[in-house]
Amino acid sequence: MTVVGVLALQGDVREHVAALRALGAEPLEVRRPDHLNAVDALVLPGGESTTMSLLLRSSGLDEPLAGRLAAGMPAFGTCAGMILLAKRLVGARPDQRCFGAIDMTVRRNAFGRQVDSFEADLCVRGVEGPVRAVFIRAPVVDDVGPEVEILASVDDRPVLCRQGNVLVCAFHPELAGDRRLHQLFLDSISQEVS
Ligand code: GLN
């Protein structure tokens, strides 16, 4: 069975673990480098990316995770997780970590402050029917490189993107009780393994 890690330093880890388990994957909470060694793929949850960035350093996960991503480990980043996987950041502290796993510029908190959080029904390429998306202090994708596929947008802003086996979204699929995007991610891992 594919072991899918969930980066468990901060954020909405539990909801991702539940979604993955419900789909038949074997989730593992990743807090230390030895946990990372045991996973085939990784979900980076929503939360607060500046805090996660600090915790990545103090936990010793920073460099090993950079190495796994550079070696092509499949990854799914939601909201703060998308910020961590991006190549370029706007509105972040200069020392905030981003791994450059997907060629995009991400602007933090660009949908506004907490009060500006909202929900939307998205039309997602390759997924039948609307996907409910919960946006919480969501980041905006300012630009994407030529290798990046845009799978869904809101007001012409990309909110769900993929580059190879790296999937990112600006919203929280794990909070809407809809597991189709987790399934999309799991499908990309099994293609890789087979
Ligand atoms: N605003 C958060 C950040 O910059 C992300 C919000 C979220 O993950 N819901 O890290």
Q: What is the pLDDT of residues 145-191, one digit of tens each?
A: 999 999 999 989 999 999 999 999 999 999 988 999 999 999 999 77
**Beta carbons of 30 and 7 less than 8 angstroms apart:** yes
pLDDT, position 193: 56
Residue 47 CB less than 6 A away from ligand 1: yes
Q: What is the mean pLDDT of the chain?
A: 94
Distance 174 CA to ligand 1 centre (A): 14
Residue 153 CB less than 6 A away from ligand 1: no
Res. 111 pLDDT band, cuts 50 70 90: confident
Q: Residue 127: pLDDT above 90?
A: yes
Res. 125 pLDDT band, cuts 50 70 90: very high
Length of the chain: 194
Residue 134 CB less than 6 A away from ligand 1: no
**The tokens 């990112």 sit on which residue?**
168
Distance 171 CA to ligand 1 centre (A): 9
pLDDT, position 114: 58
Q: Residue 24: pLDDT above 70?
A: yes
- Active-site residues: which are they? 79, 172, 174
Rounded average pLDDT over 82-100:
96
- pLDDT more than 70, % of the chain: 96
Distance 82 CA to ligand 1 centre (A): 9
Distance 26 CA to ligand 1 centre (A): 26
- pLDDT more than 90, % of the chain: 89
Residue closest by Cα to atom 9 of ligand 1: 136
pLDDT, position 194: 55
pLDDT, position 191: 75
Residue 54 CB less than 6 A away from ligand 1: no
Res. 110 pLDDT band, cuts 50 70 90: confident
| E strands present in 15-69 | 26-30, 41-44
Res. 1 pLDDT band, cuts 50 70 90: confident
Could you tell me which residues come within 8 angstroms of residue 143 by beta carbon, excluding any fewer than 6 positions away?
104, 105
* Interior angle at CA 193, CA 187 and CA 194, nearest 5: 90
Q: Is the torsion defined by CA of 165, 171, 173, 175 positive or negative? A: positive
**Beta carbons of 76 and 185 less than 8 angstroms apart:** yes
